[in-house]
Amino acid sequence: MKNIAPKALENTKTLLDRIWEEHVIVSNPQAEELLWVDLNLVHEGGTFMAFDQMRLEKRRVRKPLQTLAVTDHYLPSLHRSAGVEAIANPEIRNVVQWLAQNTQEFGIEHIGPDDPRQGITHVIAPELGLSLPGLLITCCDSHTATQGAMGCLAMPIGQSNQLRHVLATQTIWQKKPRQMRITLEGTPGAYVSAKDIVLYIISQLGIGGAVGHAIEYAGPLVRALSVEARLTLCNMSIEAGARMGIIAPDDTTFEYLAGRAYAPKAALWEEAVGYWRSLHTGEEAVFDKEFRFNVSGLSPMVSWGTSPEDCSPVSECVPDPSTVSDPEKRARLERALHYMQLEPGRQLSSIPIDRVFIGSCTNARIEDLRVAAQVVAHKTVVIPSIVVPGSTAVKKQAEAEGLDQIFLKAGFEWRDSSCSMCGGSNGDIVPPGMRSASTTNRNFEGRQGIGALTHIMSPAMAAAAALAGCLTDVRQWGAH
Looking at residue 6, what is its pLDDT? 61
Instruction: Specify the 3-state DSSP secondary structure of 245.
Output: strand
Listed range (390-394, 447-451, 460-464) with the worst mean pLDDT:
447-451
Helix or strand holding residue 233 (H, E): helix 227-235
Q: Is the pLDDT of residue 124 over 60?
A: yes
pLDDT in tens, 161-194: 999 999 999 999 999 999 999 999 999 999 999 9
Q: In DSSP terms, which residues pair with 215 in a beta bridge?
A: 180, 245
Question: CA angle 277-172-264, nearest 5°?
Answer: 35
Question: CA angle 402-407-410, nearest 5°?
Answer: 125
Question: CA angle 107-138-35, nearest 5°?
Answer: 100
Q: Is the pLDDT of residue 289 over 70?
A: yes
Nearest alpha carbon to residue 70 among 94, 89, 93, 96: 96
Q: Is the pLDDT of residue 8 over 70?
A: no
User: What is the radius of gyration, based on Cα positions, of the chain?
Assistant: 22
Nearest alpha carbon to residue 71 among 37, 114, 128, 40: 114
Q: In DSSP terms, which residues pair with 111 in a beta bridge?
A: 70
Write the CB contacts of 424 (distance below 8 Å, at least 6 apart in sequence). Answer: 430, 447, 448, 449, 452
Mean pLDDT (whole number) for 419-438: 91
Average pLDDT score over the chain: 95
What letter would DSSP give residue 15?
H
Nearest alpha carbon to residue 188 among 179, 199, 172, 175: 199
DSSP structure string for 254-294 = HHHHTT-TTS--HHHHHHHHHHHTT-S--TT---SEEEEEE
pLDDT in tens, 454-479: 999 999 999 999 999 999 999 999 65
- Do 36 and 25 meet the contact criterion of CB atoms below 8 Å apart? yes
What fold does the segment set 302-476 form as a domain?
Aconitase; domain 3 (3.30.499)
Domain boundaries, the chain: 12-175, 302-476
Cα atoms in the Cβ-side hemisphere of radius 13 Å centred on 380: 1
Looking at residue 1, what is its pLDDT? 38
What is this structure's pTM?
Answer: 0.96
Q: Is the pLDDT of residue 7 over 70?
A: no
- The reply to whether domains 12-175 and 302-476 share a CATH topology is yes
Looking at residue 480, what is its pLDDT? 45
- Do 182 and 293 meet the contact criterion of CB atoms below 8 Å apart? yes
Q: Is the pLDDT of residue 196 over 50?
A: yes
Strand locations in 39-79, DSSP E?
Answer: 39-43, 67-70
Distance from C-alpha of 246 to C-alpha of 248, rounded to nearest angstrom: 7
What letter would DSSP give residue 477?
T
Distance from C-alpha of 220 to C-alpha of 248, rounded to nearest angstrom: 12
Instruction: Work out the percent of the chain whose per-residue pLDDT is above 90.
Output: 91
Instruction: Specify the 3-state DSSP secondary structure of 112.
Output: coil
Looking at residue 187, what is its pLDDT? 95
Helix or strand holding residue 339 (H, E): helix 327-340
Q: pLDDT confidence of 416, banded at 50, 70, 90?
A: very high
Nearest alpha carbon to residue 52 among 187, 156, 159, 181: 159
Write the CB contacts of 352 (distance below 8 Å, at least 6 apart in sequence). Answer: 435, 469, 470
Residue burial 47-56, b: 16+ Cβ < 10 Å; e: rest: bbbbbebbee
Write the CB contacts of 270 (distance below 8 Å, at least 6 apart in sequence). Answer: none
What letter would DSSP give residue 175?
E
pLDDT in tens, 217-254: 999 999 999 999 999 999 999 999 999 999 999 999 99
Q: pLDDT confidence of 352, banded at 50, 70, 90?
A: very high
Looking at residue 479, what is its pLDDT? 59
Looking at residue 5, what is its pLDDT? 52
Mean pLDDT (whole number) for 380-409: 98
Looking at residue 427, what is its pLDDT? 80
pLDDT in tens, 312-345: 999 999 999 999 999 999 999 999 999 999 999 9
Nearest alpha carbon to residue 221 among 188, 185, 196, 245: 185
DSSP structure string for 117-167 = T-B-HHHHHHHTT-S-TT-EEEESSGGGGGGGGGTSEEEE--TTHHHHHHH
- Do 355 and 383 meet the contact criterion of CB atoms below 8 Å apart? yes
Distance from C-alpha of 107 to C-alpha of 42, rounded to nearest angstrom: 13
DSSP structure string for 437-448 = EE-SS---TTTT
Nearest alpha carbon to residue 308 among 122, 406, 438: 438
Domain 12-175: state its class.
alpha beta
